[in-house]
Amino acid sequence: QVRLVESGGGSVQAGGSLTLSCKASSAVSRYYCLHWYRQSPGKEREAVAHMNRDGRTDYADSVKGRFIISLDNTKNILSLQMNEVMEDDTAMYYCMANPVIDTLTGYCSNREQYWGQGTQVTVSR
């Protein structure tokens, strides 16, 4: 089991940058798939960025080219660097980790998920 705590949210003007952090209570590199999700009021939670155990990343089309997911292995901190933010990026942002259950393929569990409490990002014009 791993505990996750997000930080770094706040208010930012459109076109600006913000970096979110997610501190894990234990080592997550190569043991977990790591994700950032977001949810706006009245909308469903959506996936923003993913990183698999080998460090490969994937992004939602809406943030591709603007956001960067990264992991500091020494500090167990997952980050989301948000550049050229837009008003549509306003949301509560959550990090999530699900454990690798197949060490050969790196497949991660769909049932076991660990979520942080979220950090709010508000983008204004």
Tens of pLDDT, residue by residue over 71-82, are 999 999 999 999
pLDDT digit string (tens) for 1-58?
899 999 999 999 999 999 999 999 999 988 999 999 999 989 999 999 999 999 999 9
Residue 106 has pLDDT above 90, yes or no: no
pLDDT at 103 over 90: no
Per-residue pLDDT, averaged over 99-115, amounts to 91
Q: Examine the pLDDT at 104 and tell me if it is beyond 90.
A: no
Q: Bridge partners of 51?
A: 34, 57
Q: What is the average per-residue pLDDT within 112-122?
A: 97
With CA atoms as reference, report the closest residue to 92 among 17, 6, 2. 6
Tell me how many degrees the CA angle 34-119-43 measures, rounded to the nearest 5.
85
Is 106 within 8 Å of 98 (Cβ atoms)? no
Cα–Cα distance, 71 to 79 (Å, whole number): 6
